[in-house]
């Protein structure tokens, strides 16, 4: 039986909320440089008064027409939208973003996106009962300061799926319902952590499904 767990449930099970409360009571809270904003739209987001982000996933992934198209524009009242960053990748699916906005600078903000890019398309034959499928899971963090854009490759790892025809595990179809990345303040400091949930079969002869939670400290990559 396959059970999908959101990051919210995972944090609850790991008692991260209790850990945050413990830090808050044991020490004086430091000023936080970032505030975290929630995303509500399905395909487009305006995370500052002037910055507009759109993410379009096309086709069935993996497949010949699978593609992601990301566009970040600067939109001012008197001018036409100006594209300041875009990203197009074939055989790739992009997650919904998670956003950060600095509390002391109105137009300095950032967001993180997770990508799944399939390396190859396996040939499904009648004789093959189970096939292996490999992809690269990558996290990009993009910081924006008006028209300046800084792109950081925060994480990259290989994922192996085992597939029976079109049914593959780990099943990435849940990525439309649950976001496997989250930004949280775990420690009592002024930088948040980027938390990513990752699952893959190992490359050993005896296949086993492995799941990991990766914590990326934002102050280490800025």
Q: Which tops the pLDDT comparison, 100 or 1? A: 100
**Using CA atoms, how far apart are residues 114 and 179, in angstroms rounded to an integer?**
9
* 50-62 residues labelled b (16+ CB within 10 A) or e (exposed): bbbbebebeeebb
The predicted-structure confidence for 164-176, as pLDDT tens digits, reads as follows 877 888 887 766 6
Nearest to 183 by CA among 32, 5, 31, 25: 32
The predicted-structure confidence for 116-141, as pLDDT tens digits, reads as follows 999 876 555 555 688 888 999 999 99
Question: By residue range, what is the domain housing residue 211?
Answer: 32-120+127-217
Q: What is the pLDDT of residue 12?
A: 55
Q: Lowest-confidence range among 23-32, 33-42, 180-189?
A: 23-32
Q: Is residue 15 part of a domain?
A: no
pTM for the full model?
Answer: 0.75
Q: Is residue 11 part of a domain?
A: no
Q: Considering the chain, what is the average pLDDT of its residues?
A: 77
Q: Is residue 38 part of a domain?
A: yes
Indicate the number of domains in the chain: 1
Q: Is residue 158 part of a domain?
A: yes
Q: Is residue 70 part of a domain?
A: yes
Q: What is the pLDDT of residue 158?
A: 92
Q: Is residue 200 part of a domain?
A: yes
Q: Is residue 14 part of a domain?
A: no
Task: Give residue 1's Cα distance to chain centre.
Answer: 26
């Amino acid at each position: 039986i396959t059970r999908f767990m959101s990051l919210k449930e995972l944090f609850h099970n790991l008692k991260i909320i209790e850990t945050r409360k413990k830090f808050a009571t044991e020490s004086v809270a430091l000023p936080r440089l970032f505030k975290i904003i929630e995303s509500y739209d399905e395909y487009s987001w305006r995370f500052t008064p002037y910055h507009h982000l759109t993410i379009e996933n096309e086709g069935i992934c993996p497949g010949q027409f699978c593609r992601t198209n990301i566009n970040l524009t600067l939109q001012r009242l008197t001018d036409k939208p100006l594209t300041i960053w875009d990203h197009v990748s074939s055989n790739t699916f992009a997650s919904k973003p998670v956003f950060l906005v600095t509390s002391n600078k109105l137009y300095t903000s950032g967001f993180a996106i997770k990508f799944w890019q399939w390396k190859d398309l396996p040939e499904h034959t009648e004789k093959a009962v189970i096939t292996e499928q490999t992809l690269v899971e990558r996290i990009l963090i993009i910081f924006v300061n008006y028209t300046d854009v800084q792109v950081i490759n925060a994480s990259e790892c290989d994922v192996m799926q085992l597939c029976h025809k079109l049914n593959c595990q780990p099943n990435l179809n849940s990525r439309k319902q649950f976001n496997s990345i989250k930004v949280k303040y775990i420690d009592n400091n002024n930088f948040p952590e980027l938390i990513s949930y990752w699952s893959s079969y190992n490359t050993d002869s005896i296949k086993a499904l492995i799941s990991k939670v990766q914590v990326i400290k934002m102050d280490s990559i800025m």
